[in-house]
């Protein structure tokens, strides 16, 4: 029988947030695929796991993916973890999950912490509907397009950002959304110096320009509250045609899938499967 791929959520910072089920899973599997083994090894030691620990990250090649699939095919259970929170949420694990599903291997989620949900919960902004955009490109047309989508979104938008660039992101958001748009900046969630600061984009941009952020940062921006304008047929992209265009430009499959998801509204998993099938 094939092994099972367990997608395991790990703490954002506070080890007390690791669920008993997650701990038991990490102790029972034979192999753990981690984004950064140096970061994850202390967690496995803390719970007494003796599982083999291997690296699987954004720069892993097809050989790394193939070796994990071979272990699953050989009947070994594998756990996929990220540095913090739930794997695949702005994380490279999608290729492994998609490939495991394509081959019919069991895939099981071990639910737990997520910075997206945690930040929404303390932001004070509506969370009944929201859009998650992860890390925006640092510059160029893609950044401008995604910033515009934040400005136009009827729903709350959640973003990740490096602490070194939070002030720039907030300034750019204030420019496209208007300085009075409500927002919140959550940093170091569940850790000793956890802080969530809410206000207008203009207020937050000014604050973080004078007091640079530290630690992991999640930015939550209020939506317009208005229904989006209907798109004409001419505005609706053909996902397959767009994927072929991007591949022809020389982008990697992962980058094409990310672009396709952002441009068409497809989930990242669906976009990745579509790209792999071309």
Give the tens place of pLDDT for each residue, 32-84. 999 999 999 999 999 999 999 999 988 888 999 999 999 999 999 999 999 99
Domain extent for 61? 5-110
Same-domain check for residues 156 and 178: yes
Provide the mean pLDDT of the chain: 91
Q: Look at the chain and count its residues.
A: 278
Same-domain check for residues 36 and 64: yes
Same-domain check for residues 142 and 212: yes
Same-domain check for residues 119 and 217: yes
Same-domain check for residues 78 and 142: no
Q: Which two tokens stand for residue 155?
A: 């729903």
Q: Can you give the CATH number for the domain in which 69 is found?
A: 3.40.1010.10
Report field, pTM of the whole predicted structure over 0.85? no
CB 167 within 8 Å of CB 208: yes
Measured from the Cβ of residue 89, the count of other Cβ atoms closer than 10 Å reads 19
**For the chain, how many structural domains are there in total?**
3
Same-domain check for residues 195 and 170: yes
70 or 245, greater pLDDT:
70
User: Which range (119-133, 143-157, 172-186, 236-250) has the least confidence?
Assistant: 236-250
Q: pLDDT grade, residue 273 (50/70/90)? A: confident
**3-state SS, residue 132:** strand
Same-domain check for residues 119 and 211: yes
18 or 89, greater pLDDT:
18
Which uninterrupted H or E stretch holds 33? strand 31-34
């Amino acid at each position: 029988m094939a092994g099972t791929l367990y997608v395991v959520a790990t703490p954002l910072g506070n080890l007390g947030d690791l669920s008993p089920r997650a701990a038991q899973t990490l102790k029972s599997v034979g192999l753990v695929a981690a984004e950064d083994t140096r970061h994850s090894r202390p967690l496995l030691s803390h719970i007494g796991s003796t599982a083999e620990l291997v690296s699987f990250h954004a720069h892993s090649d097809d050989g790394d993916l193939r070796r994990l699939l071979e272990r699953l095919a050989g009947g070994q259970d594998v756990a996929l973890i990220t540095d913090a929170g739930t794997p695949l949420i702005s994380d490279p694990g999608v290729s492994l999950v998609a490939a495991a599903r394509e081959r019919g291997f069991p895939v099981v989620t071990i639910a737990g912490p997520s910075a997206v949900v945690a930040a929404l919960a303390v932001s004070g902004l509506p969370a009944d509907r929201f859009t998650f955009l992860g890390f925006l490109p640092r510059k160029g047309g893609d950044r401008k397009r995604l910033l515009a989508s934040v400005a136009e979104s009827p729903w709350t938008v959640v973003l990740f950002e490096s602490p070194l660039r939070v002030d720039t992101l907030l300034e750019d958001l204030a420019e496209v959304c208007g300085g009075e748009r409500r927002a919140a900046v959550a940093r170091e969630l569940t850790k000793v110096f956890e802080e969530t600061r809410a206000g207008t984009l203009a207020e937050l941009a000014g604050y973080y320009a004078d007091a640079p952020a530290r630690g992991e940062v999640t930015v939550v921006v209020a939506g317009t509250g208005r229904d989006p304008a209907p798109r004409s047929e001419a505005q609706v992209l053909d996902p397959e045609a767009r994927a072929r265009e991007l591949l022809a430009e020389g982008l990697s499959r992962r980058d094409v899938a990310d672009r396709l998801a952002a441009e068409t509204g497809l989930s990242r998993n669906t976009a990745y499967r579509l790209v792999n099938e071309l």
